[in-house]
Amino acid sequence: MIQAGFHSYSVKIVDKTFTADKDVFYPQTAVVSFYNIQGQMLFAEDYGHLPTDQIYDLIEKSELVDLDYCYVKNFSFTAYRRTHILQKKDTVKLKSLSARHAFFDSEYTIDFSHLEIEPLDIDFSGCCFASGELTFASTNFGNGSVDFSYAIFRGVVTDFSNSIFGSGEVIFKNAFFSESLKNFQYTDFGEGSISFVNTDFGDGEVSFLNTHFNEGDVSFKVARFGNGKIDFHFSKFSGGDISFERTNFGTGEVDFKTVEFGKGKVNFNRAIFGAGDITFEASAADGRITFKKTAFGNGNLSFDLAEYENTELNLEKATFGECDISFFKGKYASVKLKGCHINHYVDIRVQKCPVVDLSDTIIRDIIDFKPFECEVDIDILDISAMRLLGLIYIDWHRNNVHKLITAQKHTTYAEKAEQFRVLKESFREIGQYNDEDHSYVWFKRFEAKSEFAEIKQNYIWKRLYELPVHRFKKLVFDYAGLYATDPFRVMLSMVVAYVMFSLIYVVVMVTDTGGVVSGLGEEHALLGVVGRGFYHSGITFLTIGYGDFYPMGAVRWLSNVEGFVGVFLMSYFTVAFVRKILR
């Protein structure tokens, strides 16, 4: 088998019988010498030599065309049609075709176009198309397997456009393409599996535009693309699994726009993308798409308008260069960016996505959830263990942030508290102070729930004093004033406390266990029990202390308590009010 890395070659035909496999004999031998760029010979290979007109005779007689280990010069079915008075695009039928380890040489075009081959296996494995353009355009390969494994394509154009494969396996494993256009546009790969495993596509454009891959598995595993556009635009996959695992996509643009991935699993794990833009815009899938540990370069990544309603899109632990990422108006079953390091803007203004997982990510720029043009429909947002060095643009009410966090079933109270804290810090930086207050309240609430969960795990003697303290904190800090975020809630708490103490005073006086006595004469004593209770409560709560009435009995101790509560709540109100105003 020849090496793909040669720069040039020379051919010498000698009158020496060459024996190929299967006891096939050629009357002449072609000695092909291969050279490097400096003109030094690397190696030489012997091939059998069969003149082109003799090959045409085999075709005309409908005999088996066996070119294994054969050197073929200027082979062209266009020339065959011309000599047999056929139209340029008339179909030529072949009984069989094999060219294992053959060497095709041409100054013009190596032409296998518009063929129809009987349903037998077709073997071009190890074949070298050394020069000139190569075309299999509009060729029907039948239902046998088609093997181009280890083939070398050195022409300026390799054209399989509009070709049709059947139910057999199609193999380009370990094939090598030079710096050229690789054209698979409108190719129908049939129902068999397709393998481009470890294929080197070289520099130049690679086009699978409008290609149909049907039900078979498709593998580009460990394939290598060079400097040129990779175009899968409008391609259609069906039920088979698709693998681009560890594929190197080179430095060019990668276009999967409006591709239908079908129901199979799509695997881009550990793939490498270069500096070109990557688009999956308006693509559709019903399986699962994974980009685990994929390395993205500096080209922008777009999943805009993607139709993945039944598809999990998993980019776990992927790394991103200086690229923007967009999921704008897409529909997804879930989007997972867990453990990623993201340096630039991320647009997650999705049209529908029940679960967005950003846990354990490092964010250095903006993540955008704020609705624009349409509502953002997300049920659960997981940002636990996120290191936020940038900002999160999200709206507390329109994005229903409370539900996004509290609906999580797999996170602890402490993790939920931390997520609200991260949002609180982001809201403060953006200037969304009301949203900051909402986040702060729920941060403190889940922090308290976490502490309470720990208390319940303690020994019973510890719980006896820790539980009352926990309940007291909840009453004072949460219920009374929402952790100093709502001055009106504090004012309401003040009114409730005032009325409560007033009624207690009335009950105490009615039961004759204490009283509120006038210190200024009989006319003041005419004030009824209810009036004295509410009046005394007011001057005590507000720490006015006129001295016209004074407490007796149990009311004295209650007045001390009310005076403290009044001072505390007034201070609490001042803090909450000033906090609101100064921001």
Is residue 112 included in any domain, yes or no? no
Query: pLDDT band at 354, cuts 50/70/90?
Result: very high
Is residue 333 included in any domain, yes or no? no
The SS3 assignment for 465 reads helix
Q: Which residues of 524-537 are buried (b: 16+ CB within 10 A; e: fewer)?
A: eeebeeeebbbbbb
Query: pLDDT band at 92, cuts 50/70/90?
Result: confident
CA angle 311, 317, 319 (to 5 degrees): 110
Query: pLDDT band at 249, cuts 50/70/90?
Result: very high
Q: Which residues of 459-479 are buried (b: 16+ CB within 10 A; e: fewer)?
A: eeeeeeebeeebeeebeebee
DSSP character at residue 34? E
List, in sequence order, every beta strand (DSSP E) within 51-159.
Answer: 65-66, 70-73, 92-94, 97-98, 103-105, 109-111, 115-117, 122-123, 128-129, 133-135, 146-147, 152-153, 157-159
The SS3 assignment for 169 reads coil
Is residue 358 included in any domain, yes or no? no
Structure tokens at 489: 């809630």
Per-residue model confidence (pLDDT) at position 468: 81
Is residue 504 included in any domain, yes or no? yes
Is residue 216 included in any domain, yes or no? yes
**By residue range, what is the domain housing residue 554?**
487-582
Q: What residue type is assigned to position 185 of the chain?
A: Q
CA 308 – CA 291 distance, rounded (Å): 15
Per-residue model confidence (pLDDT) at position 452: 83
Q: Which of 270, 294, 323 corresponds to the end of one domain?
A: 323
Neighbouring C-beta atoms of residue 292, cutoff 10 Å: 18
Per-residue model confidence (pLDDT) at position 145: 93
Q: pLDDT for 296-336, tens place per residue?
A: 999 999 999 999 999 999 999 999 998 999 999 999 999 99
Q: pLDDT for 146-163, tens place per residue?
A: 999 999 999 889 999 999
Structure tokens at 345: 């803007």
Does residue 488 have a pLDDT over 60? Answer: yes
Neighbouring C-beta atoms of residue 398, cutoff 10 Å: 12
Mean pLDDT of the chain: 91
Q: Which of 300, 323, 346 corresponds to the end of one domain?
A: 323
Which phi and psi angles does 206 have, rounded to 5°? -120, 120
Could you tell me which residues come within 8 angstroms of residue 541 by beta carbon, excluding any fewer than 6 positions away? Answer: 494, 497, 498, 501, 562, 563, 565, 566
The CA R_g of the chain, rounded to the nearest whole Å, is: 40
CA 186 – CA 208 distance, rounded (Å): 7
Domain count, the chain: 2
Question: 48-57, 237-246, 401-410, 411-420: which range is least confident on average?
Answer: 48-57
Q: Which single residue is written with the structure tokens 């096939």?
A: 24
Q: Which single residue is written with the structure tokens 């103490």?
A: 501
Q: Give the residue-averaged pLDDT of 508-516.
A: 86
Is residue 493 included in any domain, yes or no? yes
Is residue 564 included in any domain, yes or no? yes
Q: Which of 288, 307, 323 corresponds to the end of one domain?
A: 323
Per-residue model confidence (pLDDT) at position 1: 65
CATH number of the CATH domain containing 492:
1.10.287.70
Q: pLDDT for 547-560, tens place per residue?
A: 777 888 888 899 99
Is residue 508 included in any domain, yes or no? yes
